[in-house]
Structure 1
Amino acid sequence: MKLKSCVKGFFVFAMLFVTSAQCQQLVEKRVFSTKNFVTYGGKTIADVSVGWESYGKLNQDKSNVILITHYFTGTSHAAGKYQHDDVAAGYWDAIIGPGKAIDTDRFFVISIDSLANINVYDPNVTTTGPASINPDTGKPYGLTFPVVTIRDFVNVQKLVLESLGITNLYAVAGPSMGSMQAIDWAVTYPNWVERMISVIGSSESDAWTTAFLEHWATPIKLDSKWNDGNYSSVNAPLDGLTASLMLITQNALTPEFFNQIGKEQLDYNALETGPLNDINTHHSIVEWLRSRAASRAKTMDANSLLYLVRACQLFLAGHQNDINSAIAKVTAKSLFLPASKDLLLMPYHARATHQKFIAHKKVSTIIEYEGPLGHLEGVSGVSQHAKHIEAFLQE
């Protein structure tokens, strides 16, 4: 372990006698498996396995559980590190841990990989989805895998919790697609959920959002290697997947952020020499975006992205035709944290949901994020609302 990452100067010597766990919480990935899982659409998946990890300790009556539900390209790695020399900690490490907003000295925090998780080839992810082997054929499911919904993600999480003897959530919280899961928990299993935190989220995929999400799927389907979903891991449609991830990344950020990157890191100029002289040469900002997307694509699966897109497109809290009837069932206290510059799940989503909660006389609070990261304020910038989350969990 590099001690300089934890202390400076004089305190380095003292830290020689302090365990490394005090510097960074280490976490272990576990796996839950179940048989014959029936989806919301009525299809049966013979074998389901998902990864999960936890932080803090479960108290004796199992009343201190907080479930963290992850975002579209995320995993159950919400906090801590697997090894001391990991480059980065979990995505919400800024607010999950000893003495932090979600205090693991007090709470048992758990997070679970989604079905059809896009990060199939990440060694720390376990998921069942289109890249999994169909036991009936011995080959990957591909597009024969059943359509899955946000409700299915929630129901798998419920099975994991029940396997640990947990029947109540002190809180459920998540950003983006995780917010959809958190809201669905509150409306579907109200007797379970005491508090719900929706970060950069929505209670439904409206017409605009459904059409918007379809653009993420299109590049994959146009890649000749996609082959109607029938491809091998060694001949995958990585060009299409990379193009999709470029779209997702830009949609999740803001013009302000991109312009800052162009100015401070790339010396971007509209009249760059390369693009001026060669149609096959791209601007520096395009190459910056593409290189990051291509790097991420190496551990991801194209078909899984299509399934996650569809799950989000199908989302309506409670999975009923009438969202008001679903919201009427909520008993949890709720906190909505949209980002004012979000171009993906724009703040009107959270505002409308909050107003519906208020109209149904639910206890609900809304506080908007500020900052240049847009949708990613709910992931990378979540620490700015640490005090609001901490206060909400004290109520």
Structure 2
Amino acid sequence: MQQGGLWGALVGAAALLALSAPVAAYDQLVEKQEFLLEDFVTEQGASIAEVRVGWEAYGELNEARDNVILICHFFSGTSNAAGKYSEDQAQPGYWNAIIGPGKPIDTDRFYVISSDTLVNLNVADPQVITTGPASIDPATGAPYGLDFPVVSMRDFVEVQKALLDSLGIESLHAVMGASGGSVQAMEWAAAYPEMVPRVVPVISPGLDMPPYVIGLLKMWNMPIQMDPNWNGGAYYDGEPPLEGLSNALQLVTLNALHFDWADTTFGRAPAEKDGDPKAAFAAAYKVEAGLQASGDGRAATTDANHFLYMSKANMTFSVAEEIERIRAKVLFIPAEGDMIFPPFLSDRWAEKLRAQGNEAEVVTVTGPFGHLNGIFNIAQAGEAIADFLAD
């Protein structure tokens, strides 16, 4: 299941509605590659040996090595931003609508790179390469578990920087990303202002994680930590906390979508034709069954500890105190009905950036999918993206 189950039973239903018009796939099969960093020191000073992450690219790197666009993925995403690894892959990468020849992120012009992050949720997906709590600690020969160091979004960026260094890439045309990927994009703008002239944060919190969303992330974590099988993170020799993980993923899915999506996709129909929710405690509505199927499916490729570490990295994000370092011009793309990062956050941070002299604009995408309008309906912003990347 690709994209951490993004195209699973529940969100797949939303995707089919959003992608009802045919969209040409990236016209070449994508090769997943592996980057090895033999020793990495985190922002907090911890050392991690043998950091491995997967990456892929679309288009051709020019001779000057200055036509690079870096795509950073969202909370439960992977490096597969466009195209397919094989002809029988069910769906292309999540931003396939805007990446490819002649598309807004034009691979006839740009070399587009996307990598799996540290602590990627989908560690059990054979197409994902990541390092995190489920990885084997070379010092012990066993999974790290909660002995794995806490990592930050800045650490994600530093691993990506090492990957680019290994390719001889010293400048970027732009950094882009959706949701958690937008967070990484803003980290890039603050950490390496000389490398990043343009940033496109999509469905973004702006320059820090709002306290409300920190609380929301805590709520996502709780089902995992309350599952007895989680066992304080020490479950790799036993049964994983799949029930808690499924419930956590169901919360993520529901929060990332919207009332309109639920009404359109499910309405108030019962899950079973003859199962009246009024008549029996166990009888469920179709929306309940859809959430359950999605959570169970996604849990099969997701690691619970990786989920918790990804939450922590999002919680601790802030470059607000480094705003003066940011030189890039910024195109914020919020989504109508986003109940995780409402559009007013993009407006607020665009105003603050303009106040210090940055170019910053806001273009809103619409639709029934809330936060996920920034994935499913990103093509609405295609012209704005193309214009932003053109100059």
TM (norm. structure 2) is 0.91
Query: Which residue is 2:35 aligned to?
Result: 32
**What CA distance in whole angstroms lies between the structure 1 residues aligned with 2:374 and 2:34?**
27
One-letter amino acid matched to 1:173: M
1:39, distance to aligned residue in structure 2 (A): 0.6
Per-residue Cα deviation, 1:264-289 (whole angstroms, up to 9, x for no partner): xx7349x9844333323322210111
Query: Which residue is 1:214 aligned to?
Result: 218
Query: Which residue is 1:284 aligned to?
Result: 286
**What CA distance in whole angstroms lies between the structure 1 residues aligned with 2:223 and 2:289?**
17
Other structure's SS at 2:266 match: helix
Q: Where in structure 2 are the equivalents of 1:237-316 lying within 5 Å?
A: 237-263=241-267, 267-268=269-270, 273-316=275-318
Other structure's SS at 1:197 match: strand
**What CA distance in whole angstroms lies between the structure 1 residues aligned with 2:237 and 2:295?**
18
One-letter amino acid matched to 1:382: I
Per-residue Cα deviation, 1:124-163 (whole angstroms, up to 9, x for no partner): 1000000001111111111111111000000000000000
**What CA distance in whole angstroms lies between the structure 2 residues aligned with 1:54 and 1:391?**
22
1:348, distance to aligned residue in structure 2 (A): 2.2
1:120, distance to aligned residue in structure 2 (A): 0.2
Query: Which residue is 1:334 aligned to?
Result: 330
Report which stretch shifted further, 280-289 or 220-229: 280-289
Query: Which residue is 2:386 aligned to?
Result: 390
Indicate the RMSD between aligned Cα atoms, in angstroms: 1.8
User: Is the 8 Å Cα contact of residues 117 and 129 (structure 1) preserved in structure 2?
Assistant: yes
Q: Where in structure 2 are the equivalents of 1:19-98 lying within 5 Å?
A: 24-98=27-101
Q: Where in structure 2 are the equivalents of 1:146-157 lying within 5 Å?
A: 146-157=149-160
User: Is the 8 Å Cα contact of residues 25 and 96 (structure 2) preserved in structure 1?
Assistant: no
Query: Which residue is 1:142 aligned to?
Result: 145
Other structure's SS at 2:39 match: strand
**What CA distance in whole angstroms lies between the structure 2 residues aligned with 1:87 and 1:360?**
46
Is 1:181 matched with 2:215? no
**What CA distance in whole angstroms lies between the structure 1 residues aligned with 2:68 and 2:229?**
44
**What CA distance in whole angstroms lies between the structure 1 residues aligned with 2:295 and 2:237?**
18
Change (3 A) 1:305 1:233: farther
**What CA distance in whole angstroms lies between the structure 2 residues aligned with 1:127 and 1:234?**
22
- Where structure 2 has 5 or more consecutive residues not aligned to the other structure, the ranges are 1-23
- 1:372 counterpart (358, 368, 373): 368
Is 1:190 matched with 2:193? yes
User: Is the 8 Å Cα contact of residues 25 and 97 (structure 1) preserved in structure 2?
Assistant: no
User: Is the 8 Å Cα contact of residues 29 and 84 (structure 2) preserved in structure 1?
Assistant: yes
One-letter amino acid matched to 1:210: I
Other structure's SS at 2:277 match: helix
User: Is the 8 Å Cα contact of residues 120 and 306 (structure 2) preserved in structure 1?
Assistant: yes
Query: Which residue is 1:358 aligned to?
Result: 354
User: Is the 8 Å Cα contact of residues 102 and 389 (structure 1) preserved in structure 2?
Assistant: yes
- Where structure 1 has 5 or more consecutive residues not aligned to the other structure, the ranges are 1-20, 318-322
One-letter amino acid matched to 2:221: A
User: Is the 8 Å Cα contact of residues 269 and 285 (structure 2) preserved in structure 1?
Assistant: no
Query: Which residue is 2:9 aligned to?
Result: none
Report which stretch shifted further, 168-177 or 200-209: 200-209
**What CA distance in whole angstroms lies between the structure 1 residues aligned with 2:244 and 2:325?**
42
User: Is the 8 Å Cα contact of residues 190 and 330 (structure 1) preserved in structure 2?
Assistant: yes
- 1:121 counterpart (124, 130, 150): 124
One-letter amino acid matched to 2:141: G
**What CA distance in whole angstroms lies between the structure 2 residues aligned with 1:380 and 1:234?**
37
User: Is the 8 Å Cα contact of residues 24 and 84 (structure 1) preserved in structure 2?
Assistant: no
TM (norm. structure 1) is 0.90
Query: Which residue is 1:6 aligned to?
Result: none
Other structure's SS at 1:62 match: coil
User: Is the 8 Å Cα contact of residues 24 and 81 (structure 1) preserved in structure 2?
Assistant: no
User: Is the 8 Å Cα contact of residues 270 and 285 (structure 2) preserved in structure 1?
Assistant: yes
- 1:344 counterpart (318, 321, 340): 340
One-letter amino acid matched to 1:68: I
**What CA distance in whole angstroms lies between the structure 1 residues aligned with 2:247 and 2:304?**
11
1:38, distance to aligned residue in structure 2 (A): 0.6
Per-residue Cα deviation, 1:23-42 (whole angstroms, up to 9, x for no partner): 73211000001122011111
Query: Which residue is 2:202 aligned to?
Result: 199
Per-residue Cα deviation, 1:246-302 (whole angstroms, up to 9, x for no partner): 000000000111011113xx7349x98443333233222101111011111101101
Is 1:172 matched with 2:168? no
**What CA distance in whole angstroms lies between the structure 1 residues aligned with 2:336 and 2:190?**
25
1:333, distance to aligned residue in structure 2 (A): 1.4
User: Is the 8 Å Cα contact of residues 34 and 129 (structure 2) preserved in structure 1?
Assistant: yes
